[in-house]
A and B are shown apart, each in its own frame.
Chain A
Amino acid sequence: MGTVDLLEILAPGILASLQDTGRQGYGRIGVAPSGAADSYACRIGNLLVGNLENAAALEITLMGFQARFRCEAVFAITGADLQPTLNGRPLPLWTVLRAAPGDRLELPAAACGCRAYLAVGGGFHAPAVMGSRSTNIGAGFGGHEGRALQAGDVLRGCGPASYLSLSGRSLPDTLWPVHTSDWVLRVLPGPQSDQFPAASRTQFYEALYTVSGASNRTGVRLEGPAIAKEAGAPASILSEGILCGAIQVPGDGKPIILMNETVTGGYRKIAVVIAADLPLLGQVAPGDTVRFRETDLAQARQLLSGVEAAVDWARRHFSDWQQTL
């Protein structure tokens, strides 16, 4: 199937980049997974428009995104509600919609959440680098020319004409994630949680943190009570492998929730966000509040099964059409 000019970027907003489910298996050479910060929204969006769930989607941050379709296509917008419109008319989320050449898509401002995903039938064309189409912005590879999108970029699509019949289908609202601006993230104790005084741990779980404007795809930075380490303990530890969701406490005591752009870290981890809540972590926006609630491995597994069951439902209901092509 040939590629065609699909979407012209008029304004990228704060940050727009191509992301998929991420780059696995290269941590040993310092390559972070990258990938959609809200993997649930990215996977569901792709399944809705008839793609495989690991296709690349456009991750759009907070506000100010404008683009023009260059050809007929179906698309879905999932994740944060950035109040999307097509030619000025409001669009529903989690729904397959149809666009004609010249149609203008805008995602002006976040009503709730941080990142929206634009998935198109057939997917965005981008070469896989080290097994993924995700943009590694820091190192400058993957995605569209290894960088965030700029005004004037034209993204190519992979045979969008074959997908037009999928217009109209949507995700049942029982499977929509619940977004808020006052988040409760569930965590497990971190590998160095026993190196913090008991009072610091108590403080961490009782605190109400505010998300700093300095947050980005690398990490969510929190303002609020500083977490004290044991008196006399050095500020940092020897670097070790880390994962998305790990909550580091640097020298100033203000926790940073690491995301998908780092593989090693040299600060103590007081707690780690469970896998089931990582898609929510991707929706935490500057100015929001965050609290942490401790859970255990058994419950973490049960919650993740719930998330994967929803994806599995979408997989079964939205991929059957391919057999009838």
Chain B
Amino acid sequence: MPAEIRHLGDRGLLVELGDGIDPAVNRRVQRLQQMIVRETLWGVVETIPAYCSLLVVYDPLRAAPQALARQIRGLCDFEDAAASEIQRPVIEIPVVYGGEAGPDLEAVAAYHKLTGEEIIHLHSGTVYRVYMIGFTPGFPYMGELPQALDTPRRETPRTHIPKGSVAIAQRQTGIYPVVSPGGWQIIGHTPLELFDPQQDHPSLLGMGDEVRFVPVTAEEASQWAR
């Protein structure tokens, strides 16, 4: 699909590179972002990647949107021709499943007519791609969950979700890096620090990373450090 570029007001160009939650489309978004960063296009302030789109934020007094859109289109053609990707090793995230750490595990199991153990086995048995970071600082949107774990959001969102909560919604899984409200089903908790504003790289995860969840006991989790 050719890139479709839409205006987001007078400061943003939204580059749509496909539809849906699709690793191939998300890789195109990632490659386009890397190219825009490398080319340092005049007037571009920052880029915000998502599942199937890249938001290019520009300074309207330095960049003309029509000219910028033409440059971006050129990069899209180029990236289709030369696709290569450097992949980081799979990042392992320790998780305490169920109980106080994962208050929705039992309800999720009941919804699917499975046991808690089977849910844990399914959730930790898959390598996930980080499609985007959003919602709050460092929150990774990861997928896809196995079909058997496809679960709707909670009817009533929670107003206070503890930092480190591991959650699922539909075919996605995520981790809440800071205390926030949210409507996903919480099945576990990780001791890892996902976001630390004092670090040079504040977010543990970035778009394109691959992640596997590793079940641990509460005791093992308490000994874990970033």
Bound-complex Cα distance A240 to B57 (A): 13
Residues B31-63 near A (CB distance < 8 A) = 33, 45-55, 57, 60-61
Q: Which residues does chain B contribute within 8 Å of A269, judged by CB atoms?
A: 8
Q: Which residues does chain A contribute within 8 Å of B47, judged by CB atoms?
A: 27-28
Q: Which residues does chain A contribute within 8 Å of B135, judged by CB atoms?
A: 30, 239, 264
Known: A129-B197, A300-B60. A28 touches B206 (CB 8 A): yes
Other-chain residue from B8, B54, B141 in contact with A239 (beta carbon distance below 8 A): B141
Q: Is A31 an interface residue, CB under 8 A from the partner?
A: yes
Q: Is A304 an interface residue, CB under 8 A from the partner?
A: yes
Q: Is B6 an interface residue, CB under 8 A from the partner?
A: yes
In the complex, how many angstroms separate the beta carbon of A309 from the nearest chain B beta carbon? Answer: 10
B9 touches A31 (CB 8 A): no
Q: Is B10 an interface residue, CB under 8 A from the partner?
A: yes
Other-chain residue from B8, B51, B180, B207 in contact with A272 (beta carbon distance below 8 A): B8
Q: Which residues does chain A contribute within 8 Å of B178, judged by CB atoms?
A: 138-140
Residues A243-268 near B (CB distance < 8 A) = 243, 245-246, 263-264
Q: Is A29 an interface residue, CB under 8 A from the partner?
A: yes
Bound-complex Cα distance A274 to B12 (A): 11
Interchain Cβ contacts within 8 Å, total number: 144
Q: Is B139 an interface residue, CB under 8 A from the partner?
A: yes
B51 touches A242 (CB 8 A): no
In the complex, how many angstroms separate the beta carbon of B163 from the nearest chain A beta carbon? Answer: 10
Known: A240-B55, A241-B49, A241-B50. A28 touches B133 (CB 8 A): yes
Known: A26-B202, A27-B57. A243 touches B50 (CB 8 A): no
Q: Is B138 an interface residue, CB under 8 A from the partner?
A: yes
Q: Which bracket fits the contact residues of B?
A: 35 or more
B9 touches A139 (CB 8 A): no
Q: Is A136 an interface residue, CB under 8 A from the partner?
A: yes
Q: Is A1 an interface residue, CB under 8 A from the partner?
A: no
Q: Is A71 an interface residue, CB under 8 A from the partner?
A: no
Contact digits for A263-301, partner B, Cβ 8 Å, 1 yes 0 no: 110000100111100000000000000000000010011
Q: Which residues does chain B contribute within 8 Å of A272, judged by CB atoms?
A: 7-10, 12
Q: Which residues does chain A contribute within 8 Å of B45, judged by CB atoms?
A: 24-25
Q: Which residues does chain B contribute within 8 Å of A91, judged by CB atoms?
A: none
Q: Which residues does chain B contribute within 8 Å of A189, judged by CB atoms?
A: 7
Bound-complex Cα distance A176 to B195 (A): 40
Contact digits for B167-189, partner A, Cβ 8 Å, 1 yes 0 no: 00000000000111000000000
Q: Which residues does chain B contribute within 8 Å of A274, judged by CB atoms?
A: 9-10
Bound-complex Cα distance A32 to B46 (A): 12
Report the nearest A residue to B204, measured CB to CB: A29
Report the nearest A residue to B134, measured CB to CB: A264
Bound-complex Cα distance A246 to B7 (A): 11
Contact digits for A1-43, partner B, Cβ 8 Å, 1 yes 0 no: 0000000000000000000000011111111100000000000
Q: Which residues does chain A contribute within 8 Å of B12, judged by CB atoms?
A: 241, 243, 272
Q: Is B65 an interface residue, CB under 8 A from the partner?
A: yes
6 shortest interchain CB distances as A-B pairs: A241-B55, A272-B9, A264-B134, A241-B48, A29-B203, A191-B6
A interface residues, Cβ below 8 angstroms from B: 24-32, 129-130, 136, 138-142, 187-191, 238-243, 245-246, 263-264, 269, 272-275, 297, 300-301, 304-305, 308
The 20 sampled A-B contact pairs (Cβ below 8 Å) are A26-B137, A27-B46, A27-B55, A28-B206, A29-B195, A30-B133, A30-B203, A139-B178, A140-B178, A238-B50, A239-B132, A242-B8, A245-B11, A272-B9, A272-B12, A297-B7, A297-B65, A300-B60, A301-B10, A304-B60
Given contacts A28-B46, A191-B7, A243-B9, list 13 more A-B pairs with CB under 8 A.
A25-B45, A28-B49, A29-B203, A29-B206, A30-B139, A31-B137, A139-B136, A191-B8, A238-B20, A238-B53, A240-B55, A243-B57, A275-B60
